[in-house]
A and B are shown apart, each in its own frame.
Chain A
Amino acid sequence: MLYAALKDSAAASAAMKPQAWVDSTGDNYVFTELMAAGSSGRRVPKAMLDAFPRDQLSLMAIMSSGADAEYGVSPNMALADSLSVRANRAGTSVPYLERQFAWNTGRPSRAGAMRKEAGTPKSMSDDVLSALTWDGDSVVAQRDRAWRVVACASE
């Protein structure tokens, strides 16, 4: 429903000129358009990417890569990568979000390297969420082992 609404809104705003992308209430049509492009796999004009608020590029990369399987759309990885690169070039990359982006796209080593670069300590919550949610081979093995241990201890 969300994406369907966004697509409708994006179609309506597609013909608008860049200066009209922010309306009187502050709603950002660029955001809407990028969301629609991210969910449909469409390419977006460079001018639109340039117009997007730089401090939100990392978040947009995440959202573009967040495939919405429920609504039958695929992630636009080309757009997501482009936004991520732009965020880094602009110096507005949000390390936490960029790590999530790397994690989400199956690049856990990259995510780990970024965490070291940022000087962020490996936290307990990172480990916990990794163990519970990540489906990489090694973590799945670790997670399953823990389940077996708890099950055996109670028998």
Chain B
Amino acid sequence: MALFHVGLWAFTRGDTATVMRTRQSLAALKSPTGRSWLRNESIVYDDMLGAYLAVARKSTDARARLAQLDSMLRNAPSLDDRLNTLMNSLLADLWERIDDPARALAANRRFHVGLEMGRLSSTRIRREARLLERLDRPREAIVAWRSDVALRANAEPSLQPDLAQAKANLARLEVKVR
């Protein structure tokens, strides 16, 4: 997990060399012995970092990488709920970036309600609203925007522009479905 965070930390600073070194370190980790049927978590970390680089670089295999990662996250039995929630949130972001709102929405909805914790929750709800709008599902988008507006009702001044935008989106959709 620490290596994964180092890789993401580097990515958020545009330091792809460190991301690559981190991936090499992850790949060098040995699989757990005696539990060969379980996925090694380091594989998921490595694949996620690889997917980030592929999407950012607009690689031709970016979509295939995301599809593989998506499959792994849906089927890998060893990932605990917390890790699964985090990884699916990151995957949803990547699907959204390569303009696949349907798959982004599916990944966004794979979360564990008890372990999700705060910051992922608010991000998930806003993403849900955005994606539903893009998928032309206004009634469901309205529900999501209402949740977002309620959640951020007492947001700090720095986030008031976000709140105003959410309210504007909500009002527009409510007019649309009348």
> A residues engaging B (CB < 8 A)?
2, 62-63, 65-70, 72-75, 77, 97, 99-110, 124-125, 127-138, 142-143, 145-151, 153-154
Residues in chain B near residue A143, CB distance under 8 A:
12
Chain A hits for B129, CB < 8 A: 69
In the complex, chain B residues 51-102 whose Cβ is within 8 Å of any chain A Cβ: 53, 56-58, 86, 89-90, 93, 97
CB–CB B151/A75 < 8 A: yes
- Which secondary structure dominates chain B's binding surface? helix
Cβ of B168 within 8 Å of any chain A Cβ, yes or no, is no
Given that A132-B90, A154-B56 are contacting pairs, would A104 and B159 also be in contact in the complex, using a CB cutoff of 8 Å?
A: no
- Complex Cα distance, B7 from A150, in Å, reads 13
Q: Are A106 and B119 in contact (CB under 8 A)?
A: no
Q: State the majority secondary structure of interface residues on A.
A: helix
Tell me whether A107 and B5 are in contact in the complex, defined as CB-CB below 8 angstroms, given that A65-B118, A134-B123, A154-B56 are known contacts.
no
Q: Is the Cβ of B123 less than 8 Å from the Cβ of A128? A: no
Q: From B19, which residue of chain A is reached at the shortest CB distance? A: A150
| Residue from B113, B147, B151 in contact with A106 in the complex, judged by beta carbons closer than 8 Å | B151
Determine if B151 and A70 form an interchain contact, defined as CB atoms under 8 angstroms apart: no
Contact B119 A146 (CB under 8 A): no
**1/0 contact string of B1-23 vs chain A (CB within 8 Å):** 00001101101111010000000
The answer to whether B156 and A103 touch across the interface, beta carbons within 8 angstroms, is: no
Min CB gap A70→B, angstroms:
6
Q: How far is the CB of A118 from chain B (nearest CB, A)?
A: 15
State whether B146 touches A74 (Cβ < 8 A). yes
In angstroms, Cα B117 to Cα A105, docked, is 12
Contacts of B150 in A (CB 8 A): 67, 74-75, 77
Q: Residue-by-residue, is B141-171 near A (CB-CB < 8 Å gives 1, otherwise 0)?
A: 0011011101111111011011100000000
Residue B41 at the chain A interface, CB threshold 8 Å: no
The reply to whether A151 and B156 contact each other, CB–CB distance below 8 Å, is no
Q: Known interface pairs A105-B155, A107-B154, A125-B5. Does A135 touch B162 (Cβ–Cβ under 8 Å)?
A: yes
Q: How far is the CB of A68 from chain B (nearest CB, A)?
A: 7
Which residues of B sit under 8 angstroms from A66, Cβ to Cβ?
A: 113, 116, 118, 121
Q: What size tier do the contact residues of chain B reach?
A: 35 or more
What is the CB-to-nearest-CB distance from B54 to chain A, in angstroms, rounded to a whole number? 10
Given the complex of chains A and B, what is the CA–CA distance between A129 and B121 in angstroms? 12
Task: Choose one: B14, B86, B147, B155; the contact of A68 (CB below 8 Å).
Answer: B147
Closest 9 CB pairs of A and B: A149-B14, A106-B155, A100-B118, A104-B118, A67-B147, A69-B144, A154-B57, A150-B56, A106-B152
* Contact between B12 and A131, CB atoms less than 8 A apart: yes
CA of A106 to CA of B166 in the docked complex: distance in angstroms? 13
The answer to whether A104 and B121 have CB atoms under 8 Å apart is: yes
A135 and B9 in contact, given A62-B117, A63-B113, A69-B128 (Cβ under 8 angstroms)? no
Chain A CB within 8 A of B39 CB: no
Chain A residue at minimum C-beta to C-beta distance from B108? A70
Identify the closest chain A residue to B129 (Cβ): A69
On chain B, the residues within 8 Å of A72 by CB distance are 140, 143
Give every chain B residue within 8 A of A107 (Cβ-Cβ).
154-156
Task: Write out the residue numbers on chain A whose beta carbons fall within 8 Å of the beta carbon of B135.
Answer: none
